[in-house]
Structure 1
């Protein structure tokens, strides 16, 4: 069985490294992007089993990422998880309405992130 491929989009290099390391150690293949524009471009260039996106980013925020990914019918089944410092119900509802699969708050629990990714990619 091939490793699930995850796209992690975050403008923080430290956060990209932490997510990438946690998921790589758990057997996922991870590709990263520095902002929403780069993330949407990467998503269009390759098949991903899941996407993790921050909300507050330059150029295109996480809401824009979710909207762009969900705009194509073929992408509606790809799990999109939000990983952000934001925790307001308003932000969660907006992300959910755009098609986000789940919401995780930074700082994240490595085990929780891995378990969530395994669940949404069918690897558990």
Structure 2
């Protein structure tokens, strides 16, 4: 699993690595500390999941989410300390797939990541709709 963490706090990726290792989840984690860097990394690397904070300088997470959605369907998990219903709704409306409030337990985080990956895998492996051959008279 390749995760991209977009968070202005550089310790977030280290904490995620520790959590995932504790849960025996193999993950390659990259972190950027600004929204513009995050958008660029999504374009370059096409990660399996983006973990995005909302409160960042320069470009907030809502704007980053909208920008990523304009070119990618990568699953976006918001991981934020903001816990008001309006913030959650705005993030989901901006294109996020899921929202967790910090601090979050390791098992809940892993379960949500697995759900996003399962949904993505299922969507990518759906059989293509085939047009039946034309009927012959």
For the criterion TM > 0.5, the same-fold answer is yes
Instruction: Report SS of the residue matched to 2:54.
Output: coil
TM-align CA RMSD = 1.5
Task: Give 1:19 deviation, angstroms.
Answer: 1.4
CA distance in 2, matches of 1:23, 1:14: 14
CA distance in 2, matches of 1:103, 1:8: 14
TM normalised by structure 2 equals 0.79
Task: Give 1:103 deviation, angstroms.
Answer: 0.5
Task: Give the one of 11, 23, 40 matched to 2:8.
Answer: 11
CA distance in 1, matches of 2:114, 2:11: 23
1:1-124 aligned at under 5 Å gives the runs 4-23=1-20, 25-72=24-71, 75-76=72-73, 78-122=74-118
CA distance in 2, matches of 1:67, 1:114: 24
CA distance in 1, matches of 2:62, 2:88: 10
Q: Which segments of 5 or more consecutive residues in structure 1 lack a partner in the other structure?
A: none
Instruction: Report SS of the residue matched to 2:91.
Output: helix
CA distance in 2, matches of 1:59, 1:23: 29
CA distance in 1, matches of 2:54, 2:20: 20
Residue-by-residue CA offset, 1:21-54 (whole Å, 9 max, x unaligned)? 3235511211111121111111111111110000
Q: Which segments of 5 or more consecutive residues in structure 2 lack a partner in the other structure?
A: 122-137
In the TM superposition, structure 1's runs of 4+ consecutive aligned residues that sit over 6 Å from their partners are: none
- Point out the structure with max Rg over C-alpha: 2
- Count of residue pairs brought into register by the alignment: 117
Task: Give 1:66 deviation, angstroms.
Answer: 0.5
